[in-house]
Amino acid sequence: MKNLSKLSTLCFLLLILTQVAAAGTLFDEIDEVRDGWVHFECEAKEGVRGDSDIICIRDHLQINHAPRCRSGHHDDWDDDDWDDNDWDDFEEGPLHVSLRMHRGEVEDVDICIGDSDFRLKRRAQDLGEVAPEEASRALLELVAADAGPDVGDCILPATLTKGFDDWGALLDLARNRRLNEDTRDDCIFWLGQAAGDEATRGLRSIVNDDDEDLGVRESAIFAISQQDSDESFPILKRIAMNNPHPKLRRSAMFWLAQLDDDRVIELLEEILLED
């Protein structure tokens, strides 16, 4: 009888493992939707609010400034006429992600915060709620697979998932020369929004890579300029003064001039005196 009980338990465990394996990953489930909209949701990171149309992000870059606000469908950021009272008008809630697939490629990406009817508007196949780390992993896997010319739009929602800190994966994508330049630029841009030594070192390594495409190196300079000025100023100054490529020196000088930092004026005076 004991042997029969053990056998039943073993069979049950094998059945569970088989079902888990058959379920596949979120990436696999998305990949099965060759055409049409597919939707999933997960917890958003702290400092992200929104509604059915707008995403607002308040993080280390917005401690004393307006949050970055954008349409969930378009890439235009609009911080004009921001009133801090507006922050309370937006809701916290899950991050909703809808992907429009065409022949297995990402053709469009829509995101929103909190709107429970979001998936219904697209008549999307609903994959339900997933773990934040699973969502970010699947979205970055789509980018790595180069699944369509607009797959770079998957990067933003990946970075908005709760607990996201895999900037190393984003750096690997930025360095991946198999990806199209627009997608790599998207990776570099979002690295520029990250605080931390790993992201900064990675951006510097791209600028200093003589084998890298010049446009990609310029994108990295811009991304560095988006860091706090205490971090960005010395790096941009070094590029502006010492980089052997004149176009990169000009790019660094341009972004230095955009910084609200008294050291920029001192640097310009120093350069003028030397001339």
Q: Which pLDDT does position 20 carry in this prediction? A: 42
H/E stretch holding 229:
helix 229-242
pLDDT band at 17 (very low <50, low <70, confident <90, very high): very low
- Decide if pLDDT at 106 tops 60: yes
Q: Which pLDDT does position 59 carry in this prediction? A: 58
Are the C-beta atoms of residues 31 and 24 closer than 8 Å to each other? no
Q: Which pLDDT does position 62 carry in this prediction? A: 38
Q: Which pLDDT does position 13 carry in this prediction? A: 47
Of the candidates 191, 195, 201, 180, the one whose C-alpha atom is nearest the C-alpha of residue 223 is: 191
pLDDT tens-place string over residues 131-155: 999 999 999 999 999 888 889 999 9
d(CA 189, CA 60): 16
pLDDT tens-place string over residues 62-81: 333 445 555 554 455 455 55
pLDDT tens-place string over residues 119-135: 666 778 999 999 999 99
- Tokens encoding 166: 């895999």
Fold (CATH) for 165-275? Leucine-rich Repeat Variant (1.25.10)
Instruction: Give 6 or 207, the one with higher predicted confidence.
Output: 207
pLDDT tens-place string over residues 186-244: 999 888 877 667 788 889 999 999 999 999 999 999 999 988 888 899 999 999 999 99
This prediction's pTM: 0.76
- Report domain extents, the chain: 24-130, 165-275
If phi > 0 it is left, if psi is from -120 to 50 it is alpha, else beta; for residue 196 that is left
For residue 102, which amino acid is it?
H
Q: Which pLDDT does position 272 carry in this prediction? A: 72
H/E stretch holding 168:
helix 167-175
H/E stretch holding 69:
strand 68-71
- Decide if pLDDT at 274 tops 60: yes
Q: Is 21 helix (H, G, I), strand (E, B) or coil?
A: helix
Average pLDDT of the chain?
A: 81
Q: Which residues contact 30 (CB under 8 A, 6 or more apart)?
A: 38, 99, 101, 127, 138, 142
Are the C-beta atoms of residues 144 and 154 closer than 8 Å to each other? no
Low-confidence winner among 36-45, 94-103, 110-119, 202-211 (lowest mean pLDDT): 110-119
Q: Which pLDDT does position 74 carry in this prediction? A: 45
- Decide if pLDDT at 173 tops 90: yes
* Percent share of the chain, pLDDT over 90: 45
Q: Which pLDDT does position 265 carry in this prediction? A: 85
- Decide if pLDDT at 61 tops 50: no
Q: Which pLDDT does position 60 carry in this prediction? A: 42
